[in-house]
Amino acid sequence: NQEATKLDFVNLAQKGKYLGLENKNNIPEGFMKNLNIRLVFHILQKSEVIFLYGLNGAPALLICLFCRLFSVRLVLICQFLSPDFEIERRYWIRLLKKIAFQNIEHFITQSDDTYRTLTEVYNVKEEQITQSVFEGGYNLFCDKVAATGELECNKFNSAERDVLTYSYVGNLHPFKGMSEILKMLQYIEDENLNLPIQINIAGPSAAVDGEPGSVQYYQKCLGQISSRIKVNFLGNLSFDDLVSLYRETDVLIHPTQKDCFPKVFIEAFSFGKPIITSKAHGALGSLIKDNHNAVIFELNNPKSLFECCKLLACDDQYRAKLGENALIDVKNFCDLKVEKEKMQETLTKMELT
């Protein structure tokens, strides 16, 4: 209701840049370099209550550090890794979060793993937490699912009908999963195996040309492998093209090394597509369920990823059943009404209504 409520939108013209830390002995980390001190203090000066959507950025951390100085109350809407993965993160990462959490009055968790991580790893009190769900754009994709007849068919599919289409959707940051796909392709060549699929990679580079995380880097790696599996780099797609890609995809492959709650899970499930993924994210149990709507592979194990890909490629009935379950599960979980109600419940707990 525009007459009853005034909404001011402050656009951040400065583009964020992703910075990554990665080595074999630690969970990879990523940060958004988008510091805008003027915007941070503008928000603090103009606000009584701030809802933060995650902590992946310098502005969010600064707001946490300075909120008491401005007598601002904070609510964190969050998605975290499972406790098993969170506890393995670098000590200074967990220390920064503990410091930030001291200034947050209430938490809205959007997955079961997030609730467990807050209570078990960071010792947040249960009365500070409201458990919610994550709509994640589900309704937007539902509208497109209903209108799929208007869109172009076979835009991204191979002409060979006996070849299934596996798609990766997301930016190409190294720990998002491209390295796992490359290791699997190398394993297939080394073992002289056959896998009747093609792989579409949809998403922008996350690094300058030639560096890990760029399309050029992965194309060079593929050239060295001489993969017999066709890999198509589609770049950053328009929304309609992304919808077409999901329609034509048989399986979403998202072998992430670290992710809180990938929205691509919701997007793929909206079209009834099963998923191959790891355990290194916070959606396991809440939305992703092994052998029900997805199959889980073991990280750093190219044979495990290959076996998961082969299982879904060779068993049409099993693949279809996972897809049917995915459609039901995403509809039950991604409830915008529940998400709104939980936000209202939080405001009531804070005596702001």
- Return the pLDDT at 244: 92
Residue listed under structure tokens 């060549």: 189
- Give pLDDT tens digits for 297-308: 999 899 999 999
Check whether 167 has a pLDDT greater than 90.
Answer: yes
Residue 117 pLDDT more than 80? yes
Predicted local distance difference test score (pLDDT) of residue 44: 93
Backbone φ/ψ region at 52: left (φ over 0), alpha (ψ -120 to 50), beta? beta
pLDDT of residue 168: 97
Task: Give the mean pLDDT of 135-158.
Answer: 73
Residue 28 pLDDT level (bands cut at 50, 70, 90): low
Q: What confidence category does residue 18 fall into, taking pLDDT thresholds of 50, 70 and 90? A: low
Cβ distance 103 to 74 under 8 Å? yes
Segment 63-80 mean pLDDT: 93
Average pLDDT, the chain: 87
| The predicted structure's pLDDT at residue 26 | 61
Ranking 14-23, 48-57, 59-68, 114-123 by mean pLDDT, the lowest is 14-23
Q: Flag whether pLDDT at 149 surpasses 80.
A: no
- Asked whether the predicted pLDDT for residue 268 surpasses 80, the reply is yes
Q: Give the pLDDT band (50/70/90) at residue 1.
A: very low
- In this prediction, residue 160 carries a pLDDT of 59
Instruction: Name residue, tokens 């190398």.
Output: 186
DSSP 3-state of 310: helix
Least confidently predicted of 178-182, 224-228, 238-242, 310-314: 224-228
The pTM score is 0.87
CA-based nearest residue to 180, from 308, 34, 287: 308
Determine the Cα angle at 219 with ends 215 and 222, to 5°. Answer: 140
- Asked if residue 20 has pLDDT above 70, the reply is no
Q: How does DSSP assign 86-121, residue by residue?
A: HTTS-HHHHHHHHHHHTT--EEEESSHHHHHHHHHT
**pLDDT tops 80 at residue 2:** no
Beta bridge partners of 333: none
- Tell me what pLDDT residue 34 has: 58
- Stretch 271-276: mean pLDDT: 97
Question: What 3-state class would DSSP assign to 262?
Answer: coil
Distance CA 349, CA 108 (A): 12
**33 — pLDDT class (breaks 50, 70, 90):** low
15-19, 116-120, 186-190, 225-229: least confident range: 15-19
Q: What percent of the chain has pLDDT over 90?
A: 64
